A = this chain, B = another copy of it.
Amino acid sequence: MASELFEIVEESIEVGDVIKKVERREAGAITTFIGTVREWTQGKQTVYLEYQAYIPMAVKMLSQIGDEVKAQWPDTIIAITHRIGRLDISEIAVVIAVSSPHRKAAYQANEYAIERIKQIVPIWKKEHWTDGETWIGDQLENVPYKAGKPTIKEIEG
């Protein structure tokens, strides 16, 4: 069961399935983050996206994020599912669900998780526009690291 809390999948993600993994009688608050494919980014129209992952390491890093969350917010339970392959506009790329007895921790842990995903989980997206395509990260604006390359400290958390 615990190993299924962190998944990389190729089919579409059901938000409710991810929520179910964290539901429990002692939790009064569940937060979810749903990342979807946005049509417009800085004036450029996306037609579809392609996500690629280094799957075994991605699952391992998601699980590491789970450990980090557990250390900081001991009462929470977190589940993360990230989809790869071709995604059309509005389709769900990632769902993060966190349950907690109290809401503050549920928000904080959830936001922490998405920030960490963008730092340490080996997943890449390729934008397909009407007039071309490119892998995001290197060439474009949304390199997730302040210094253009992550420091070991950012990676080790």
Interface residues on A, range: 20 to 34
- CB-nearest residue of chain B relative to A114? B103
At the interface with chain B, which of A4-12, A20-28, A132-140?
Answer: A20-28
Q: List 28 A-B contacts (CB under 8 A).
A: A15-B15, A15-B19, A23-B90, A24-B90, A25-B39, A25-B40, A25-B89, A25-B90, A26-B38, A26-B39, A26-B40, A27-B36, A28-B35, A28-B37, A29-B33, A29-B34, A29-B35, A30-B33, A30-B36, A31-B32, A31-B33, A31-B34, A32-B32, A33-B106, A33-B107, A35-B103, A103-B111, A107-B107
A81 on interface, CB distance cutoff 8 Å? no
Bound form: Cα–Cα A38–B99 in Å = 11
